[in-house]
Structure 1
Amino acid sequence: MQWKENGAWVSADEKRVKLDLGTECRERGYSYYPYTVELLPGERTLVRLLLRSNAEEDVFHLIPCCIYGDNNAESVHFGEFPLLTAERFDETGKEDPFRSSYWSFRADRAAMPLSALCGREETVAVTIDPYTEQEDGGFLHNGVFSMLPNGCGVTMGYENAPISFINKRTPGPVKSEYVSSARACGRIYVAFPETEHERENPRLAIHHIIRAEYLLRREMPKHEKSAREAAYACLKSFTELNWDSIAMEYTNRSCLPPADTVLRPWRNVVEIGWTGGGVLAYPLILSERLFGEEAERLLSKARSGEEILEQIVAAYNEKSGFFNDLTHPIEGSGSPVNGWWTAFGLTRDVHCAYNVSSALHYLLKSILFLKEERKDYPARWLKRARDVADTAVCLQRGDGAFGYTFSISEKKVVDWEGFAGCWFVPCLTYLYALTGERKYLQSAEKGLTYYWEAVRSLTCCGTPMDTWKSPDQEGNLAFLRGARLLYECTGEDKYLEALKDAANFEYLWRYGYRTRPDYKPLREGWCSCGGSVTSVSNPHIHPMGMIVDSDLYYLAAHSGDSYHRQRAEDGTNWILQTLELYPQKTGYGDYGVLSERWCPSDGLVIQRDSNGEPYSSWYSYNLWAASAAFEEVCERALEELDTAAHGV
């Protein structure tokens, strides 16, 4: 036990700091010791419990949502986000404020409040209740930290150090909450690889600890409206509010309450996949099945899912063999590929795998749905889908990698490094289901095998183009979907194993407990449990994790493990609950509107209202975010409809 004295960590006074360590409890795959730390009244300080691994080399540090090893330090641009490294200087010799051998965060920054060290033989971790109740009815925030070479731990009280990580490229001063007297509880874990699969991939042992803590801490979000009601509200909002009849485009919209609550366009959405049209096209098509003539009536005012897919197909680039990243250039740019992400400096004048494969994914998913519904679709959709897929297969590296960016003037990979290409795996599996051509199945299998290593080692990095190849949650969604589809197609057990690994990696980003956000609209009545953080670079919950809830329900059914059903239900309930914040708690919009940013802790709380008051979200109606929610609630509503029709 240590405490802060004159700005330095020193051994704590045993007369004032009491550690009560309980007896060992053994479970399958792990054991743990419950503990209580008590600080008796006196001078304000921080108290920390520090664990060290016996191994100094090959230790992988983990704080969910915050630290995954060194956070891919070798590939990261100067001044982006926290990197756990002893090297404080970048390749030019400039000191980077985001490079440090020690990082400490508020515990509720983590999807599970723990810090862990994953070694070859064992994984050790320590958890802490994120809040300590006070006699006056208030509470204190506790913390978690990682320290090189082999230290991890928790703090009573907290300190954001060596800086406060507010947002990518946005460091802030050290922020802390010292305590004069308090009591905190948690558990110290030791987990061992249990199966042959875990022994080959020992970092997977952390998932035993995450699961154990989840079962202790879960608090499911509550909602009032059904998935069908939510789906109709989303459809209505897209067609009557989001659609700009002057520009003839779907949009992102914003306002600044309380002075201004009118949502006005701030960007037309012309992207084909990620953050763009494809993610909306698919749920719009689902809504036609759900609402029939009413959906047709609403869509007659805007653009249907089929019309969006026509735009994507028309964006095919004969020279590169891929879709252009935009349906048409952003005003003034003249480029068919340079979207909003270009401003972040990682990609320019190239096709991005994330955009192209996301668009292809939703095109093929829509074709499969229409085929299952015995509805016609244009033959050119499948032809262009095959053209793009054939290019991906042609360029696929021998080890299975698909690439991160591609030339726009020839069939060539420009940058191989990154996880984004994994989105081609579910695309190729869909295409195999549609055509029966084994080359697509073989390519998908080879791709999944390649990307599986990053999932097993907890190092999925480099999917979104605005996060500078940080560890992220979004790429694994492709792996999770791909593993599920390959298991469906082949019945091979290894793909069920891959699906479990992907689900467990998702849970390193998906909150398993309720946090206490500092500001409106989340301060009262909202529950973080089930919401997933986007990346280390963007410290907020976003709705994209919900698109794999169907796959998690599938995993629960085929593995017989109710844990995955609980996790899926959390996601469904989280999105239904969050939609219901509008408009009473958000102060703007209507039911069916959704922002992309939900701040469960102190990260990315950069929005201010017109009075200058902090706001734990964003006054923005983001098309892609609302589309992810729309997809989830449509699939749940259709599932309920089919279940009722079959009398199950």
Structure 2
Amino acid sequence: MSDQRPSAPLPEVPAGPDRTAVVTVVLGDGRELTPEAAGFAAGVSWMPPSGAGRHTVRLTVTYRGDRPRDAAVRFTAALPGEPHSPPWWMVPGVFYGENRPADCQRVFPRFAMAGADHGAMVSDHWEFRADRAATPAVLGWSGPGGVALLADETTELGMTGLGFGHDPPTGRSHVQLTFPFREAPVSYDGSETAQPAESARYTWQPGRQVTLEFAVQRLDADRHGYAAVLRAEHERLARTAELRPWVDIPHAAELAAAGLHRWHYAEPGVLLETVAFDRGISGQDGLPVDRQAMHVGWISGIPWAYALLTHARRVGAADQSAAARRVIDFVCAELAPCGTFWGTWYRGRGWSGSWSPVPHTLHSRTLAEATQFLLRALELGADLREAHPSWAAAVRSNLDAVVARQRSDGALGASHHALTGEVLSWSGCAGLAWVGALAEAGRLDGPDGADGAYLAAAVRAGDHYAGAVRDELLHGAPEDVDLAPSSEDGYVAVMAYLALYRRTGETRWCDLARRAADWTLTFRYAYNTAFPPGTVLETYRFATRGADNASPANQHLHAYGLICTAEFGQLSSACGDPYYAARAREALACFRQFVARFDGDFNAYRGMVSERYYQTACFQPKGMLLTLSHAWSAGVLLLACEQALADPALCLPAA
């Protein structure tokens, strides 16, 4: 990672066509005028730059009209570079580069320099409300460098807007802040149907004066410069963003284990993916709403059975231990004809593929995550290895199969055919998940086993996917968003490269893990958004700091980042930098909210944990909570608690 270098001061807003920063007024009808032409006066003060080149800007706006007027104030900064230089964007948690690859099947906002199709959510300019962003910031690069704009989520004019665009006639690109926000050219509600553009309104009264404060920072050509910018902004925002965990770590572990065992465990040895808060629906104990299915990894299956087993062995809970072992036995008892795990079990029809419209598809990330946590289960004790020989056999079968399919350039494939083993897709970074499993298979990789083949394959794959990490272009890990970038891609990369570092001790893997962790943290909320009065999240004072936006396609808060709690602690130790462990503690503090403490708590049953917290206008109104308990949500909380209890650095109070 390159440190952000001091740069020449940005000038005050000048006059003329070549100005690099512009203040305009956006009227209620959408017209954009100079302040004077709209009846306003604007003054801009630039504070001296910090050592990193960050300027605090104070923009004072006075309305001189004689009658009330709806209007927004916009600050626009031009990007450097020659005309028509391709720009690259980041709105943390919301937009990355073009955002949606051209061949991605999931529809959500995409940037294109040409060929706009607003109905298909393709445009050369985008504006978003700030609460969609994990940090209220917009960053853009073009040619030799870039510009970052950073603001508070809300000012006295209302919620801030974050935007960027490319102007085809001039070939110039820019970033912008709008007070209050506008969403354009369309709004995204989580569906594949573009919603009408939205404009927040502020009515200026005659003589009204407002001072807005925000930051502007020059960036060099290294796009990873965002890391230093967002780290500094997190430090600023966190000072006033209180963490509000409901329970301590041991209590959270007890609750999550109880919920996973009581509500999600079911015969014939599965962890049901979702169960309803309301168990009385149709008088059938919630069965019409519960999802009678189990993925082998990802949203159910072995990772969370491993967490339950770890907890049960620590506290001596024989019933929870037996249930966890039964789940792992059930997954290992029947492999797909191609030699890997199946993707999903469904009650009534048994084992099947992953979530894909293509028959017999198995998704690499799901299979690899199951394999990696099965390896960890084998390391819990010799008694487990002796009592469950099918576990090691399943690991070997999975790893042997994927190594045999590895491409000459190191790629491991994103999806596979369950019957033939043919690699169906090489696109995206889902194959990176196999690196963690291969690197952790040391016990099975000796002369009497794979004889180093697993590590060799992990190294080749680690080198192959390193380009995606360096390009800030991780995407394709979850089954449900196709090739979209997602926070889960970041978790996969951190776990993969830390596993390689633990196995080899080579610093290059630690450097990649750190870079991937920085990218992951772009999805993590640095502030507490305010929820509408009377909503569930407002009533319970849910603090969003530490939660991750799932992805630009799935804009809701989730807890999956807890899966690499231990890795963030290990990264801090390896780098001598406490920052990553602190961000892991912050996430664990966040999700010690909304784990049901008793039957009836927030209308759930004891130990239930929701998957979705709606922090913006996407899928559901802001302030709502999904009233389903997810196996992975309870499981990942339990995993993080157990990992923290094993590492004193992760049990420190979150600042």
Mapped pair 1:379 → 2:373: no
Residue 309 of structure 1: CA displacement? 1.3
In structure 2, relative to structure 1, the CA distance for the partners of 1:417 and 1:581 (3 Å cut) is farther
Instruction: Determine helix, strand or coil for the equivalent of 2:135.
Output: coil
Equivalent in the alignment of 1:253: 275
Mapped pair 1:555 → 2:563: no
Amino acid at match of 1:118: W
Mapped pair 1:51 → 2:77: yes
Amino acid at match of 2:184: A
In structure 2, relative to structure 1, the CA distance for the partners of 1:643 and 1:100 (3 Å cut) is closer
1:348 pairs, out of 356, 359, 372, with 359
Equivalent in the alignment of 1:305: 324
2:627 pairs, out of 587, 594, 619, with 619
In the comparison of the two structures, how many residue pairs are matched? 602
Given that 2:309 and 2:321 are in contact with CA atoms closer than 8 Å, whether structure 1 keeps it comes out as no
Equivalent in the alignment of 1:464: 478
Equivalent in the alignment of 1:238: 260
Whole-angstrom distance in 2 between the partners of 1:21 and 1:400: 53
Superposition CA RMSD, Å: 2.8
Matches within 5 A, 1:419-498: 419-436=429-446, 437-498=451-512
Mapped pair 1:151 → 2:174: yes
Whole-angstrom distance in 1 between the partners of 2:244 and 2:33: 44
2:618 pairs, out of 594, 597, 603, with 603
1:325 pairs, out of 322, 326, 343, with 343
Whole-angstrom distance in 1 between the partners of 2:191 and 2:376: 33
In structure 2, relative to structure 1, the CA distance for the partners of 1:331 and 1:122 (3 Å cut) is same
Whole-angstrom distance in 1 between the partners of 2:651 and 2:53: 41
Whole-angstrom distance in 1 between the partners of 2:265 and 2:298: 18
Matches within 5 A, 1:135-534: 140-148=158-166, 150-181=173-204, 182-192=210-220, 202-218=222-238, 219-244=241-266, 250-255=272-277, 264=287, 265-292=289-316, 295-298=317-320, 304-318=323-337, 320-326=338-344, 328-331=345-348, 336-339=351-354, 341-342=355-356, 345=357, 347-371=358-382, 376-436=386-446, 437-518=451-532, 520-524=535-539, 525-534=541-550
1:82 pairs, out of 94, 109, 127, with 109
Tell me whether 376-385 or 469-478 shows the greater mean CA deviation.
Answer: 376-385
Given that 1:582 and 1:588 are in contact with CA atoms closer than 8 Å, whether structure 2 keeps it comes out as no
Given that 1:33 and 1:189 are in contact with CA atoms closer than 8 Å, whether structure 2 keeps it comes out as yes
Whole-angstrom distance in 2 between the partners of 1:246 and 1:277: 13
Mapped pair 1:592 → 2:611: no
**Can you list the C-alpha shifts for 1:352-394, whole angstroms capped at 9, x where unaligned?**
11221121121112112335x9874523311221121111111
Matches within 5 A, 1:5-20: 5=27, 6-13=29-36, 16-20=40-44
**Can you list the C-alpha shifts for 1:139-191, whole angstroms capped at 9, x where unaligned?**
71111012125211111101122222111424322222122344432100113
Amino acid at match of 2:475: C
**Can you list the C-alpha shifts for 1:566-586, whole angstroms capped at 9, x where unaligned?**
2111111111124268777x6
In structure 2, relative to structure 1, the CA distance for the partners of 1:51 and 1:578 (3 Å cut) is farther
**Can you list the C-alpha shifts for 1:75-125, whole angstroms capped at 9, x where unaligned?**
123x711111245568xxxx7331111111111211110111134532311
Amino acid at match of 2:312: E
Mapped pair 1:33 → 2:55: yes
Whole-angstrom distance in 2 between the partners of 1:552 and 1:331: 40
Residue 537 of structure 1: CA displacement? 0.6
Residue 505 of structure 1: CA displacement? 0.5
Instruction: Determine helix, strand or coil for the equivalent of 2:189.
Output: strand
**Can you list the C-alpha shifts for 1:532-586, whole angstroms capped at 9, x where unaligned?**
11111100111111111211111112212122222111111111124268777x6
Mapped pair 1:125 → 2:148: yes
Instruction: Determine helix, strand or coil for the equivalent of 2:466.
Output: helix
In structure 2, relative to structure 1, the CA distance for the partners of 1:257 and 1:604 (3 Å cut) is farther
**Can you list the C-alpha shifts for 1:181-218, whole angstroms capped at 9, x where unaligned?**
4443210011336xxxxxxxx11111111111111111
Amino acid at match of 2:433: W
Amino acid at match of 2:592: L
Whole-angstrom distance in 2 between the partners of 1:475 and 1:235: 26
In structure 2, relative to structure 1, the CA distance for the partners of 1:527 and 1:257 (3 Å cut) is farther
Given that 2:596 and 2:605 are in contact with CA atoms closer than 8 Å, whether structure 1 keeps it comes out as no
In structure 2, relative to structure 1, the CA distance for the partners of 1:63 and 1:445 (3 Å cut) is same
Whole-angstrom distance in 1 between the partners of 2:72 and 2:599: 40
Whole-angstrom distance in 2 between the partners of 1:220 and 1:488: 34
Residue 427 of structure 1: CA displacement? 0.2
Whole-angstrom distance in 2 between the partners of 1:4 and 1:210: 28
Mapped pair 1:71 → 2:99: yes
Amino acid at match of 2:329: E
Instruction: Determine helix, strand or coil for the equivalent of 1:280.
Output: helix
Given that 1:35 and 1:185 are in contact with CA atoms closer than 8 Å, whether structure 2 keeps it comes out as yes
In structure 2, relative to structure 1, the CA distance for the partners of 1:583 and 1:573 (3 Å cut) is farther
In structure 2, relative to structure 1, the CA distance for the partners of 1:23 and 1:310 (3 Å cut) is same
In structure 2, relative to structure 1, the CA distance for the partners of 1:440 and 1:203 (3 Å cut) is same
In structure 2, relative to structure 1, the CA distance for the partners of 1:321 and 1:19 (3 Å cut) is farther
Whole-angstrom distance in 2 between the partners of 1:575 and 1:382: 33
Residue 329 of structure 1: CA displacement? 4.4
Structure 1: tracts of 5 or more residues without a match: 134-138, 194-201, 607-613
Amino acid at match of 2:588: T
Amino acid at match of 1:132: T
Matches within 5 A, 1:558-573: 558-573=574-589
Amino acid at match of 1:492: E
With the length of structure 2 as denominator, give the TM-score of the two structures.
Answer: 0.85
Whole-angstrom distance in 2 between the partners of 1:521 and 1:583: 17
Whole-angstrom distance in 2 between the partners of 1:390 and 1:533: 35
**Can you list the C-alpha shifts for 1:294-325, whole angstroms capped at 9, x where unaligned?**
x213556xxx222111122123123x121111
Equivalent in the alignment of 1:637: 645
Whole-angstrom distance in 2 between the partners of 1:127 and 1:357: 38
Whole-angstrom distance in 2 between the partners of 1:244 and 1:374: 22
In structure 2, relative to structure 1, the CA distance for the partners of 1:258 and 1:604 (3 Å cut) is farther
Instruction: Determine helix, strand or coil for the equivalent of 1:48.
Output: strand
Residue 605 of structure 1: CA displacement? 1.9
Whole-angstrom distance in 2 between the partners of 1:413 and 1:378: 30
